[in-house]
A and B are shown apart, each in its own frame.
Chain A
């Protein structure tokens, strides 16, 4: 309460003296220099120091996604696989924020893999060995000559969509770039990025 009263009093003071900021603004034609001795501090990134926590998929769906990611983009020949690049965690983030139709595709697709696994092997997809999992996945994978005309079959639609996402997320990862650099392979390095330009004023 005391804080609120102080804040109100402060705002009232500002409101009563409108000419002060105007005068200051007129004098300050260039931004003030940083106080002496203050420099930009070295900071880090959360995703470098901490483990991402999946929040969107259920535990079973996430384990299915992990297995699927490992099958579609495995590690090999000096390149990290999707699991090394923490792609399942990233896909959880990406799909969790995506429009409803894309969320539904992933949830239904992962559930479908699990249904096949339960029916054929009596355990979740995430618990299958590679041979068992491939026997479910391989029939779903089809060529997609036109990205905007996805396969009509749900399983194929999901598997081919997830393949593209997982592959891209792996190749766009820091882990992939560092491994490629270490191996002397060419990588898609930094690209021209357009900053947000003069966004709408929101006060």
Chain B
């Protein structure tokens, strides 16, 4: 039936799949990577266009991509078409599932914020008093973080704060902070609110993707084959051994179904697609928690203020400008009294413009206000950790199928009082800092986007030591099927306030090296 058996079948080509291929191919294992979408030619498929030359003047075509708030007329062709691959949810419980199926996945487009998780996340249950710890700690992942930071050329400022672990950073010159950043930094100190700098992957030539940092080295070994437009439908297991032994996939264009054999299967299709594939295959769920504990961060809470001395273009040269990153500062000590657990970060930006939405004015009066406040605005954008909850889960909706006849996901997620209380605390805290600085509040909201908006969805396939309460062990290996690994964000136990990519990459590296060693020892 299958023409060739591979050592490893890797499904997905983003950060996690790219890392798996990078490690495994260089270990000499023959790898086949299936990717659901096509390969983009970044030299030809991207062109410069003016909004007035687009059919809708820069607006997204009406009705297209209703769940992708990040979509613009310029990038609308990148995201997964919701009509081709729909998903369902209760209208009262919206969920924004933001997907890319191009080769390289979302690693083509990510914001490149690169933070390590800390033991406040890995050992969250000890701090929170409820929930579960990860089966690993920062010390376990530290060497892998360091190697990933080197590959992705992460820059950052070392601080020595346990809630914001330092890394293997490039030297970066952040220059002197503006007076406005200095002022708010000083005001934060007595409250335990510490200001640092953004940590970001520089990548190479403006790109920090699997397609330029991971897959080329894997292909150079001659051990990796990549098949685009190959949509995995179902994994198979050997009836006698119970081991995974291959997968059915569908050609995206012809819809021809094919089958490929492999000694090991690595799922890296993105948190929810990997889980969807497992659910559709009826595998790896003896615990009953496959699909559960879906989580990401709350985005959207924000406060904007104006620095009086900076209005009407009169800001002294050193007053405005720059950014600062405030890592989590809530619930770092046992016994802290708040009406929520976990915490949030704040991104501070100084020297911006006022949004027209801040005002009730229009026409000439609005323009006068925008000119008046131009360059005087400081904003705080808040990123808060959602609580992993058993009830927040995905399942298969057998009544709806995608363009290729594959049953779709039903997503059932609702925020809790913890998220709302955290959001209110964040908005109130930023407001009070700005007011204490003598700045005038222009806008404040403690509202946030629907779950999924952050594009940091994790969980649903979580790791743990107990096979009854987790899907994977600490090596991202299925408790049920030892030659099946899930190396994307599905393995997360808690999401933290941090962007997830650096942790996904590090976990994928660690799991892949373990996998290679196990195969070398013929563990299956």
Contact = CB atoms under 8 A, between A and B. Distances in A.
Interface in B423-438: none
Contact of A172 (B57, B63, B443): B57
A116 B38 CA distance: 54
A4 interface: no
A197 B40 contact: yes
A143 B363 CA distance: 14
A168 interface: yes
A25 to B, nearest CB: 16
Contact of A148 (B51, B74, B102, B449): B449
Q: Summarize B's interface: helix, strand, loop or mixed.
A: loop
A108 to B, nearest CB: 18
Interface in A153-170: 160, 163-165, 167-169
B51 A145 contact: no
B46 to A, nearest CB: 5
B74 A197 contact: no
Contacts of B421: none
B143 interface: no
Contact of B357 (A93, A143, A188): A143
B4 interface: no
Contacts of A148: 69, 300, 447, 449
Interface string A139-150: 001111111110
A104 B443 CA distance: 29
A77 to B, nearest CB: 8
Interface string B58-83: 11011100100100011111100000
A201 B357 CA distance: 43
B357 A99 contact: no
A146 B52 CA distance: 27
Contacts of B44: 195
Contacts of A191: 48-51, 74
Contacts, number: 126
A137 B58 CA distance: 27
B176 to A, nearest CB: 27
B445 A146 contact: yes
Interface string A21-34: 00000000000000
A195 B47 contact: yes
Given A99-B62, A149-B447, A194 B363 contact: no
Interface string B319-363: 000000000000000000000000000000000000011111111
A74 B364 CA distance: 7
A174 B50 CA distance: 9
A194 B78 contact: yes
B389 interface: no
B170 interface: no
Contact of B48 (A90, A99, A190): A190
Contacts of B84: 200
B443 to A, nearest CB: 4
Interface residues of B, number: 52
B52 A71 contact: no
A98 B62 contact: yes
Q: Which among A71, A189, A190 has the highest number of chain B CB atoms within 10 Å? A: A190
B314 to A, nearest CB: 20
A73 B162 CA distance: 51
Given A146-B300, A146-B445, A197-B77, A73 B46 contact: no
B62 to A, nearest CB: 4
Contacts of A142: 360
B173 interface: no
A94 interface: yes
A72 interface: yes
Interface in A66-85: 71-74, 76-77
A141 B360 contact: yes
Contact of A145 (B76, B252, B357, B367): B357
B229 interface: yes
B57 A198 contact: no
A155 B444 CA distance: 23
B317 interface: no
A193 B49 contact: yes
B403 interface: yes
A172 B356 contact: no
A137 B361 CA distance: 10
B121 to A, nearest CB: 28
Contact of B403 (A97, A169, A173, A200): A200
B3 interface: no
Contacts of A200: 84, 252-253, 403
Given A145-B445, A194-B45, A169 B358 contact: no
Nearest to A175: B52
Contacts of A147: 357
B112 to A, nearest CB: 16
A163 B63 CA distance: 20
8 contacts: A74-B364, A94-B59, A141-B362, A143-B359, A145-B357, A168-B58, A193-B48, A196-B77
Which 6 pairs between the two chains have the least Cβ-Cβ distance? A198-B38, A172-B51, A190-B48, A98-B62, A201-B253, A193-B49
